[in-house]
Amino acid sequence: MTQPPDAPDENTAADLPVVRLKPKSKPQAIRRGYPWIYADELVTDRRTKALAPGTIARLEDAERTPLARVAVNPNSKIIARVIDREGRGIPDHAWFVARLKRALALRERLYDAPFYRLVHAEADGLPGVVIDRFGDIAVIQPNAAWADVLIDPLAAALAEVTGVTTILKNAGGRGRTLEGLDAEDEVLRGSAPEGPVEVAMNGATYMADLTGGQKTGLFYDQRENQAFAARLARGEDVLDVFSHVGGFALAALANGASSALAVDGSAPALALAEAGATASGVAERFEARQGDAFAQLEALGAENRRFGLVICDPPAFAPAKPALEAGLRAYERVAKLSAPLVAPGGALVLCSCSHAADLAAFQGACLRGIGRAGRRAQLIYTGQAGPDHPLLPQLAESGYLKALVFRL
């Protein structure tokens, strides 16, 4: 994407264009920390519509009172994203360095090794930007137009702050489509790894495919939930459905599970899970089955298989509100099919990464499914994404992950 004519490194703050809220819009939400302005809330005259995607602008309320600095994309339903609430900063090199240093300081307090989500979008003051770190490699998902425009200064600041030598751009995020952006991955610095990268987590070794895997290569968000589930897995047979690269299964085996069966529809993901089991020294206790998760759950039921711990961590069945009802039915079905596989007194872990399904709705669907399976449940744990995925309290969408652990 070409840089817009009013990008911040070519203009002073005074030269920034101005966008304005409509009279009926509520500036209080912006003042209280809400980071998004929708297209129907902004005056979209010819001048505003002509702004290049990624343009940095000054946001004013209907009375022309300054509110914030925003990144504008006339092609997106989220037409403006707040990048500086104080209304003074612009995203130049020093601005990126300051944001990244603040994000890094939190992760270095949380983790001993440099494997974590370094930037979690709005909550870290970089709206639409995800950065996952894998040692001396970082993967950036610029899911908003402004970050795509400014990817080079962002990468330069990232290298300076963290010392990473390889920076990859992952353009596979769903948000990029909504922003009208391309899907072209890119090596921004260094060279792409020739094979999977080893990641030590929860006592296990995972294999992350940073160039061809899902998302940025590994899901760090379940780390704490996997650690809790692993405590319940000691001495038990474990079933990990929708396992991806073995997230719950490998953590369980590393912490004393008797065996683990990983089920996923992706052969490449299961190959990475098997490689992780070998690297973790638990291959003799690990088994993989490729196939449709619902069909495999039904087949295991027909085999009268029972496990001390069953985990189901599916993809988002309800990524947006139009899919909510169908998504909740799918979560209910997962619970109904998986509950009979749990041995008496065992545990069932059910997860959702659907933005549209809040905790109450998801929990209700799970309990309906468990009840339809004829099981009774105690809820013993409620989890969310780990602390390297901080929440912006004003933005409910940032609290996407739910993990419920039931004792049946």
Q: Which residues carry out catalysis?
A: 353
Tell me 196's DSSP state: P
Q: Where are the beta strands (DSSP E) in 21-54?
A: 36-38
Token pair recorded at residue 241 = 């459905």
Which residue do the tokens 């780990």 mark? 386
Rounded Cα gap, residues 315 and 381, in angstroms: 21
Q: Which amino acid is at 263?
A: V
Which residue do the tokens 């993967």 mark? 139
CB 132, CB 121: distance < 8 Å: no
Rounded Cα gap, residues 325 and 364, in angstroms: 12
CB atoms within 10 A of CB 110: 12
Rounded Cα gap, residues 329 and 335, in angstroms: 10
SS3 content of the chain, % helix, strand, coil (to 5): 35, 25, 35
174 phi-psi bin (left φ>0, alpha ψ -120 to 50, beta other): alpha
Burial status of residue 50 (CB atoms within 10 A of its CB: 0-12, 13-18, 19 or more): exposed
101 phi-psi bin (left φ>0, alpha ψ -120 to 50, beta other): alpha
